[in-house]
Amino acid sequence: MQAILALEDGRIFRGKSFGARAECSGEVVFNTSLTGYQEIFTDPSYAGQIVVLTNPHIGNYGTTPSDAESKKPYIEGLVTREFSPVSSNWRSTQVADEYLERYGVPVIAEIDTRAVVRHLRAHGVMRGVIAAGENLDVDALVAKARAIRKMDGTDLASQVSTPVVYEWDASEPKNQTGDTLLTASLGEDTKQMHVVAYDFGIKENILRMLTRENLRVTVVPARTPAADVLAMNPDGVFFSNGPGDPEPLEYAQQNIRELKGKKPLFGICLGHQLFGLALGGKTYKLKFGHHGGNHPIMNHQTGKVEITAQNHNFNVDPASLPDDVEQTHTNLNDQTLAGLRHKTDPMFSVQYHPEASPGPHDSHYLFKDFRKMMEEFKK
């Protein structure tokens, strides 16, 4: 069946329909990762977005529950060059086409994704619509794209967050091959510590990485008051990744200010942006965002370059941060801020994903740094 991707500036791409035979709309972004498409599908940070994958072959190894970052896909739609109708992998339990159809996610394939990406790089991310069918009204689809609510100023985190408090079940944590993970080598006398994790769209591999540091994790909804978190008497508080603009999440910024100095704090991605805002800084929207698995980051504390996975459209302006906040990491592609740390209070954050699954694994040390920070705070 024919399918169309219509962008708000009137650019049209024609291809074939896969996945759900439905219409979808959202902000169109591109991801340069070579593998891990199911992790991209199920990353809640992609809520409200149509994702263009630059790797031309998608779906060829199928899908499996152990590769999911959440209970379902969160992308609004998918744009690919070639979308495999079959899977060739012993781990696959369902072909990607059936998987996305099951969850109502439309796919447009057999189009020149290079042209789409070049267009987005030149003009910036923009709103779009994917529709399937014959004799589609192109002008009407473009009008729909222009009518979509912009992501700027939109709180999507509270929409994807857990509605209830729960304890993360780490009884049999799995890695991406389905094998039971070995407990991190922390020493026999290492005591378990308690972390409360704010869920703004948290990825399950973050929870796995926290538990590998012998941390008991309680996950709470995005709007949970700081007083309720302090009542749980955690050793530290974690602020997760998530979709949308961080600026309207004033409730989260206020919680950070109330927890600052009282407990060790660690933030990733959206959590990092919220740290910047709570500390008095400002955020801005990138032209086409950072989405992919090979972004080089300079660690100013070690002088080493880390290869990282990233997925964000907004960034913290380093010039807006007060003097008591230091810049710890920088994105070497465009010199944007990629990490910060408070000079006196125990809190730090990074813009990228140290838990990246599949890889890279250069930044796993950050979870160990979080545990070490909690241990020192208790002394």
Torsions phi, psi for 250 (to 5 deg): -65, -30
Q: Which of 39, 247, 269, 291 is catalytic?
A: 269
Asked if 211 and 105 sit in the same domain, the reply is no
Asked if 202 and 312 sit in the same domain, the reply is yes
Q: Which of 295, 312, 342, 353 is catalytic?
A: 353
Q: Which of 69, 76, 101, 355 is catalytic?
A: 355
Euclidean distance between CA atoms 50 and 96, whole angstroms: 16
Asked if 329 and 223 sit in the same domain, the reply is yes
**Is 372 a member of any domain?**
yes
| 269 given a catalytic annotation | yes
Largest CA distance in the chain: 70
- Report whether the peptide linkage leading into residue 358 is cis, meaning its omega lies within 30 degrees of zero: yes
Asked if 172 and 312 sit in the same domain, the reply is yes
Report how far Cα 359 is from the mean position of its chain's Cα atoms: 14
Of 98, 120, 147, which residue constitutes the final position of a domain?
147
Asked if 164 and 142 sit in the same domain, the reply is no
Of 147, 167, 195, which residue constitutes the final position of a domain?
147
Asked if 140 and 175 sit in the same domain, the reply is no
Q: Give Cβ neighbours of residue 319 (< 8 Å, ≥ 6 apart).
A: none
CATH number for the domain including 93? 3.50.30.20
Q: 313: closest CA among 77, 26, 65? A: 26
**Is 237 a member of any domain?**
yes
Of 147, 174, 203, which residue constitutes the final position of a domain?
147
Q: How far is CA 15 from CA 12, 52, 92, 131, 258, in A?
A: 10, 13, 26, 10, 51
**Is 152 a member of any domain?**
no
pLDDT one digit per residue (tens) for the chain, 379 residues: 999 999 999 999 999 999 999 999 999 999 999 999 999 999 999 999 999 999 999 999 999 999 999 999 999 999 999 999 999 999 999 999 999 999 999 999 999 999 999 999 999 999 999 999 988 999 999 999 999 999 999 999 999 999 999 999 866 444 444 444 444 455 556 789 999 999 999 999 999 999 999 999 999 999 999 999 999 999 999 999 999 999 999 999 999 999 999 999 999 999 999 999 999 999 999 999 999 999 999 999 999 999 999 999 999 999 999 999 999 999 999 999 999 999 999 999 999 999 998 888 999 999 999 999 999 999 8
Asked if 219 and 117 sit in the same domain, the reply is no
Write down the pLDDT at residue 186: 59
Asked if 135 and 162 sit in the same domain, the reply is no
Buried b (16+ CB within 10 A) or exposed e, 45-70: bbbbbbbbbbbeebbbbbbbeebbbb
Tokens representing 267? 């933030």
| 355 given a catalytic annotation | yes
Asked if 222 and 121 sit in the same domain, the reply is no
Report how far Cα 330 is from the mean position of its chain's Cα atoms: 19
Write down the pLDDT at residue 190: 76
Q: How far is CA 237 from CA 143, 199, 216, 346, in A?
A: 44, 11, 11, 11
Asked if 347 and 287 sit in the same domain, the reply is yes
Asked if 65 and 205 sit in the same domain, the reply is no
CATH number for the domain including 255? 3.40.50.880
**Domains in the chain, number:** 2
Domain coverage including residue 39: 2-147
